[in-house]
């Protein structure tokens, strides 16, 4: 497997500004020392509760926000060191699909103009080429050319998300961050959009970071899964391995929260209780220790490193220390 991205020691903090004086009175610790490879043509699922840092990680990888430290290596170059001008090619290669198709499409623009925007931004002027590509992409997302003369409000949520996906892939990117792309949609529509993303991934040889809080969707679409808790990756493994042989108590708690019909689940040990601790003041030691039923004394003071379960499975928990 060849890496498309190597993410090294990535840290992100947001300052909390005092409203009156403009002083920094603290920080929100959004990402803590993230190390992660994303391989060519894979879908890496990123799962965790709301506030765990998933979207911040996706935005840092695309350099939509600047992390405070670390590296994001894309094809042997650190994109965090690149200027706006130098990022031009990267912007064509890496795109974002937003969560909410009601907000991400400009209501004043016709669909044709929405799909034409990426060409304008990238100074592509050949009208014939643009028209051909727009028609091709509309067909690829299962819609008809007649939509091009209409406005976003004339479409359902699922149709709008198809259009948003078309805009993201129209310049044939290599990499997509799909940030909760179905969570704003009706359950009946979610499967259609997830299947569309899978078809497009295969058709266009895409690599994808698929962000969701919903493990059942992550299980369906992903090749590998990374579990995030309070700004850290706590477990990463191939999909089947993670579901059959998960090691982190937080992963177990997330799996126990997935509704299962007519299955006699034997291993229902952890029910996740309480809220995520404040990222302004994260717990010392293992960040999950305030909610972990297996907590030991050392978990409260010592920080667990990543332990290898096998070549493709790592976990940040003292229970897996050898
Ligand atoms: Fe629980 Fe300790 Fe493992 Fe953290 S390191 S998940 S507190 S057992």
In the reported structure, the alpha carbon of residue 290 is separated from the centroid of ligand 1 by a whole-number distance in angstroms of 9
When pLDDT is averaged across residues 21-32 and rounded to a whole number, the result is 89
When pLDDT is averaged across residues 11-40 and rounded to a whole number, the result is 90
In the reported structure, the alpha carbon of residue 322 is separated from the centroid of ligand 1 by a whole-number distance in angstroms of 14
At residue 268 the predicted structure's pLDDT band, cuts being 50, 70 and 90, is: low
In the reported structure, the alpha carbon of residue 51 is separated from the centroid of ligand 1 by a whole-number distance in angstroms of 20
Reported as a single tens digit per residue, the pLDDT across 36-50 is 999 999 999 999 998
Task: Give the closest residue (by CA) to ligand 1 atom 3.
Answer: 317
Burial (CB count <10 Å: 0-12, 13-18, 19+), residue 71:
middle
pLDDT at 261: 53
Reported as a single tens digit per residue, the pLDDT across 209-265 is 999 999 999 999 999 999 999 999 999 999 999 999 999 999 999 998 776 654 555
**Beta-carbon-side half-sphere exposure of residue 236 (alpha carbons within 13 Å):** 19
Residue 304 beta carbon below 6 angstroms from any ligand 1 atom: yes
pLDDT at 144: 94
Residue 307 beta carbon below 6 angstroms from any ligand 1 atom: no
Q: Which residue has the tokens 């994303």?
A: 38
DSSP track, 160-172: HHHHHHHHHHTT-
């Amino acid at each position: 497997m060849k890496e498309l991205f190597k993410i090294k020691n990535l840290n992100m903090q947001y300052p909390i500004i005092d409203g009156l004086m403009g002083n920094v009175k603290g920080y929100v610790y959004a990402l803590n020392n993230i190390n992660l490879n994303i391989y060519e043509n894979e879908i890496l699922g990123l799962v965790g509760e709301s506030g765990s840092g998933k979207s911040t990680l996706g935005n840092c990888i695309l350099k939509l926000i600047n992390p405070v430290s670390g590296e994001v290596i894309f094809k042997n170059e650190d994109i965090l060191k690149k200027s706006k001008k130098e990022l031009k090619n990267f912007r064509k290669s890496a795109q974002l699909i937003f969560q909410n198709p009601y907000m991400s499409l400009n209501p004043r623009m016709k669909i044709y103009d929405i799909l034409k925007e990426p060409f304008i931004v990238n100074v592509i002027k050949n009208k014939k080429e643009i028209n051909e590509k727009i028609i091709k992409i509309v067909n690829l997302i299962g819609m008809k050319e007649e939509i091009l003369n209409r406005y976003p409000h004339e479409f359902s949520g699922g149709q709008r998300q198809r259009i948003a996906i078309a805009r993201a892939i129209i310049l044939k990117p290599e990499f997509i961050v799909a940030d909760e792309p179905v969570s704003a949609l009706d359950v009946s529509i979610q499967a259609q959009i997830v299947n569309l993303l899978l078809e497009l991934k295969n058709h266009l040889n895409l690599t994808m970071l698929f962000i969701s809080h919903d493990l059942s969707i992550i299980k369906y679409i992903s090749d590998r899964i990374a579990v995030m808790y309070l700004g850290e990756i706590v477990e990463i493994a191939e999909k089947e391995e993670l579901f059959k042989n998960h090691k982190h108590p937080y992963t177990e708690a997330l799996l126990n929260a997935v509704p299962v019909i007519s299955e006699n689940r034997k291993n229902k040990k952890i029910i996740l209780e309480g809220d995520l601790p404040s990222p302004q003041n994260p717990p010392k030691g293992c960040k999950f220790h305030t909610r972990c039923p297996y907590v030991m004394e050392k978990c409260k003071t010592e920080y667990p490193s990543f332990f290898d379960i096998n070549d493709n499975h790592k976990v940040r928990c003292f229970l897996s220390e050898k």
